[in-house]
A and B are shown apart, each in its own frame.
Chain A
Amino acid sequence: MKLPRVLFVTGKGGTGKSTVAAAIALALSGRRPTTLADLDGRTSAAAALGATPRDSAAAKVTDSLDVIAMAPRTELEAFIERIVPIRAISRRMLRSRTFGYVTAALPGLEAFLLLERLRIMAGDAALEDRYLVIDAPASGSAVEMLSVSSGVKGLAPAGTLNRLADSIDIFLADPTRFGAIITTTPEHLAIGEALETAATLRDRLGIVTVAVIMNCLPELLFDTAELAAMSALDGHARLAIRRNAAHEQAALAAPRFAAAGLTTVGLPMMFTPAIGRAEIEQLRRALQAGLLD
C-alpha cells in the first residue's frame, strides 16, 4: 500500500486511537525512520511505548522511532515569535491576558497553526524520507480541526493567514502528503461514526482515508450449533454471545465500508490484563500484514 508522509489517526473516543497510532508507528519504523506525534497533550500513545516526550523535544523509542508531543499553545507561541522577533515583547505579549482573550475569541487560530506545522513537517519528512504518525483528537474534534482553514479564510480575506490557509487546504487534499486512518471497534455507534468521518473528510476537505482499522476484534470461537448447545449455561452463554456479537457487527460493517471505497484492517482484541509494549508488538505484526504489505 502506498502511504502518505503524514498518517492522521482519529476515531470515536474509546476505540483505541492511541494504541493503534503507536502500533502503526512501530510498524512503519521497521521500514523508514518514523516520528509519532501526540496531539492530545496527554502523550498516551507515547506512554504505551514506554516513552515520555517533554514539550517539543523528541524522545527515542528505537533507533528508527521517536515520539514528540505537539501542543497548539506552542505553535501559537512560535507564530507570535516569528511575527514579533523581539523576544522581550513577544514573551510579554504571550503572557498578556488581553492577547489570551483575543486568541480565545478566535478558537481556530491555534488549530490552524498546528496544521501549518504539520504541513511543514510533511515537507521535511519527504526530504528525509520519513513517516509521521499523528495521534489525533477524537473524530468530532479532528474534523473540526481539519476544517479550520476555511474559517480562517473567512476571517482573513487577505494577508499571511489567508495564504497559509490555501496551502493547508492543498496539503490536506494531497494523498502523497496527508491521509487519515480511522479507528473503530465492532460496535454499531463506532462503525457509524467511522463511516461518517470518512465521508466528511472526503466530501468537505478532499482528504483520503488510507484505512479503517477495526480494532478489538476477538478471535471467533463459537459456531451457531455450539451457541445453541450451551443455552443451559446462562452466564457462559452470555459471554459467548458477547464475543460473537463483535463478529456479527464487523461482518455487517464490512460491506458498508467496502461500498464507501474504504480498506479495512482488523486488529485482534487483546485479552490481556494490561496493554503494554508486548501487546503493541502483537498489533504491529497484525498491521504489518494488513496495512504495509
Chain B
Amino acid sequence: MKPKSQPKRQAKHHADREPLHLAAQSLVICLGPGGVGKTTISAALAVRAAMLGCAVDVMTVDPAPRLLDALGLAADSSEPVEAPLDGIRRSRRGGASNRARLRALRLDPKRTFDSIIARYAMSDAARDAILENRIYRNLSGALAGVADYMAMEKLLELAANPATDLLVLDTPPATEAIDFLDAPRRLLDLLNSRAVNLLGAPAGVFRSQLRVMDIAARAVLAAFDRVTGLNLLSDVQSFVRSFDGMYEGFSARAARAQDKLRAADTAIVIVTTAESSRIAQAREFIGALADAGLRVSAMVVNRVLADLPDASELASARIAPSLKKKLKRNLADYAALKTREEVSLSALRDSLPAGAVLMVAPDLGREPRTIADLAEIGRSIRAV
C-alpha cells in the first residue's frame, strides 16, 4: 500500500502548490462581480506565471491608478507595455527559462471596436457611415456588452501571438457571469437579425417576408418613435445595413472566441470576496457557467483574513494586564470575522463545480502598489 500512496501524495502536494497549472494554460479568464479585486487577482496570477518562466500578457479593465503604476501602465496603454520584473525572485522551477516576461495593457472598448470596423468595412464610406451612426456611437460608448465583446476580440488578437505563452484576461465587472462570455453571440444576433433588417424597409416591399411578430414590432417601434421623439427606425436599419458583408468576418471570429473559451488549456477563474452577498453572486455565476457548458477551473476568494495568532502566546507574554486584556479582545473580534468568513467559504465549497479548486488570496492589509506586491499576492494564492 505504502509505495502506491506515496506518489499520489506527492502529486497532491504539487497540485496544492500550483493548482491552476498556470504554466500549462494559454488563457486564464477572471470573471466576477465588481469591487472584489478582479484586476488585482488577474495581475497577481500573471506575475506568478511570469515567475514560473512564462511569457505573459495581462489585459486589464479599468485598473486603479496604483495598480496601473505597479504594472508600469500609462492611462491610455491600449497596446501591451512591458512591465519590469527585476527584483522579483523567480521560482526555482521556472528559473531556468529565459522566456519569462510580463506585458500589460488596458482594454479600450471604443478604440478596439473602431479598429475592427476599420478592418472589416467594405469601403471607407461604409466605415464612416458606421462610425457616424447614432446607434453605433451609443453601442460602442455605453453598452456594457460591447466592452465584453471587445475584450473577446482583443483576446483573439493577443492569443494569436506565438511569442506569448499565457494570456490573463481581467473582465469588466458583471452582474451576470454570462454577460461577458455571451457578448459575441448577442452582437452577432443583432447584426444578423432578419427582423431588424426588414424593419426599416419601405412598407409593402418586404411585407411577404415579415412574420406577424415583425409587423407588430415594426408598428410598435414606429409608434414608439413618434411618441418618444427618438426616430430610431431609420438609424437602426442603416446601422444594420452598413454591416452588410462584414457579418462573415465577425461571425468567424466569434466562433473562434467560443472555441477558445472551451479549449483544454483555457482556465476560467471566478473571483469573489467572502462577504455573503458576493458569495451569493459567485454561486449564481457558477450556475450560469454550468448552464452554458463552460468549465470553471477555480474560485478565488480574495482578501481573506490571514491566519490568526495563537491565543496561548498571550498567556506567557510579559505585558501589562490591561494590554493583555485588550489583545484578547482584539483576537476575539477578528476570530468572529474569521468565523463569518469560514461560513462563506464552506457555502462556496458546497457549490463548487466538479473539477474546480477553491482558492484564497490573503488580504495584504494594503493596496498593491508594486510588482513585488503583486508577486506576493500571486505567491500566496493557495488552494484550501
Q: Which residues from chain A sit less than 8 Å from chain B, CB to CB?
A: 12-14, 18, 40-42, 44, 80, 83-84, 89-90, 92-93, 96-99, 101-102, 104-108, 138, 140-141, 144, 151, 155-162, 187-189, 218, 221-222, 226, 229-230, 232-236, 238-240, 242-243, 245, 271-275
Q: List 24 A-B contacts (CB under 8 A).
A: A18-B277, A40-B175, A44-B280, A83-B227, A92-B213, A93-B217, A97-B195, A98-B195, A102-B236, A107-B142, A108-B138, A138-B35, A140-B34, A155-B134, A159-B226, A160-B227, A162-B229, A188-B367, A222-B323, A226-B323, A229-B319, A229-B320, A273-B339, A274-B340
Min CB gap A274→B, angstroms: 6
Contact (Cβ within 8 A) B217 A98: yes
Min CB gap A73→B, angstroms: 13
| 9 closest residue pairs by CB, A with B | A13-B35, A159-B229, A235-B309, A271-B333, A98-B195, A156-B229, A273-B339, A93-B220, A96-B217
The one of A42, A159, A242, A271 in contact with B281, judged by C-beta atoms closer than 8 angstroms, is A42
Interface residues of chain A: helix, strand, loop or mixed (majority)? helix
Min CB gap A114→B, angstroms: 15
Interface residues of chain B: helix, strand, loop or mixed (majority)? helix
A151 to B135, CA, bound (A): 12
Contact (Cβ within 8 A) A240 B139: no
Contact (Cβ within 8 A) A221 B227: no
Give every chain A residue within 8 A of B313 (Cβ-Cβ).
233, 235-236
B9 within 8 A of A: no
The one of A41, A226, A272 in contact with B175, judged by C-beta atoms closer than 8 angstroms, is A41
Most chain A beta-carbon neighbours within 10 Å: one of B33, B195, B216, B326: B216
Give every chain A residue within 8 A of B310 (Cβ-Cβ).
235
Contact (Cβ within 8 A) A105 B143: yes
A292 to B77, CA, bound (A): 47
B190 to A, closest residue via Cβ: A101
Q: Given A104-B145, A105-B138, do A189 and B323 touch, yes or no (CB 8 Å)?
A: no
Min CB gap A122→B, angstroms: 23
B71 within 8 A of A: no
Min CB gap A239→B, angstroms: 6
Give every chain A residue within 8 A of B275 (Cβ-Cβ).
14
The one of B34, B175, B230, B333 in contact with A155, judged by C-beta atoms closer than 8 angstroms, is B230
Give every chain B residue within 8 A of A140 (Cβ-Cβ).
34, 173
User: What 1/0 mask marks residues of chain B from 98 to 136 whose CB sits below 8 Å from any chain A CB?
Assistant: 000000000000000000000000000000000000110
Identify which of residues 253-303 in chain B touch chain A, using a CB-to-CB cut-off of 8 Å. Answer: 273, 275-278, 280-281
The one of A13, A90, A235 in contact with B308, judged by C-beta atoms closer than 8 angstroms, is A235
Min CB gap A99→B, angstroms: 5
The one of B220, B307, B330, B365 in contact with A90, judged by C-beta atoms closer than 8 angstroms, is B220
Contact (Cβ within 8 A) B334 A107: no
Give every chain A residue within 8 A of B36 (Cβ-Cβ).
13-14
A245 to B190, CA, bound (A): 51
B384 within 8 A of A: no
B365 to A, closest residue via Cβ: A242
- Given A159-B230, A238-B365, 13 more A-B residue pairs with CB atoms under 8 Å apart are A42-B281, A89-B220, A93-B216, A96-B217, A97-B195, A104-B190, A106-B232, A108-B138, A138-B35, A161-B229, A235-B313, A240-B330, A272-B340
A159 to B229, CA, bound (A): 4
Contact (Cβ within 8 A) A272 B64: no
Contact (Cβ within 8 A) B138 A155: yes
Contact (Cβ within 8 A) A102 B221: yes
User: What 1/0 mask marks residues of chain B from 179 to 197 whose CB sits below 8 Å from any chain A CB?
Assistant: 0000000100110010110
B354 within 8 A of A: no
Give every chain A residue within 8 A of B319 (Cβ-Cβ).
229-230, 233
Min CB gap A22→B, angstroms: 11
Identify which of residues 15-67 in chain B touch chain A, using a CB-to-CB cut-off of 8 Å. Answer: 33-36, 64
Give every chain A residue within 8 A of B139 (Cβ-Cβ).
105
Give every chain B residue within 8 A of A90 (Cβ-Cβ).
220
Min CB gap B146→A, angstroms: 9
Give every chain B residue within 8 A of A89 (Cβ-Cβ).
216, 219-220
Contact (Cβ within 8 A) A240 B277: no
Give every chain A residue within 8 A of B34 (Cβ-Cβ).
13, 138, 140-141
Contact (Cβ within 8 A) A42 B143: no
The one of A93, A151, A188, A239 in contact with B334, judged by C-beta atoms closer than 8 angstroms, is A239
